[in-house]
Amino acid sequence: MKAMLSGFVAIVIIGVAAYFTLESLGFSSQDVYSSPNVRVD
């Protein structure tokens, strides 16, 4: 049971880390494909 819970916690940690890592790398399509002059946010 500990292994299962540890695994589920690992999923959350990896997922959150992936989100912030990819965002900081400018992964999203709005970052990749739009120039600054078309973004209002």
Partner 1 sequence: MLRHLMALLTVSLLAMPMAASAQTDPTSDAPIAGTSVDDAPATSTGRQTLEDILARQRGEEPRNPVRSEELGGDALSAPGMGPLGASSDSDIWRQIRFNDADIRNTTLNPTGDVLVQTGGIWWEDFREGPLRTYGGWLLLATIVVLGAFYLIRGRIRIDGGKTGTSVLRFKFIERMAHWVLAGSFILLGFTGLFTLFGRKYLIPAFGHEFNSVLLTGSKYIHNNVSWAFMISLLMVFVMWVWHNIPDKTDLTWFKQAGGIIGSKHPPAKKFNAGQKIIFWSVIVLGVSVSVSGLSLLFPFEMPLFSHTFEVLNGWGVSGWFGFDALPVNLAPQEEMQFAQLWHAIVAFLMMAVILGHIYIGTLGMEGAYDAMGSGLVDENWAHQHHSLWLEHLQAEKPGKIRTDPAE
Residues near partner 1 (CB under 8 A) are 1-4, 6-8, 10-11, 14-16, 18-19, 22, 27, 29, 32-35, 37-38
CB of 35: closest distance to partner 1 in angstroms?
6
Question: What token pair was written down for 17?
Answer: 């880390």
CB of 1: closest distance to partner 1 in angstroms?
6
Residue type (1 letter), 19:
Y
CB of 15: closest distance to partner 1 in angstroms?
4
Whole-number Å distance between alpha carbons of 15 and 7: 12
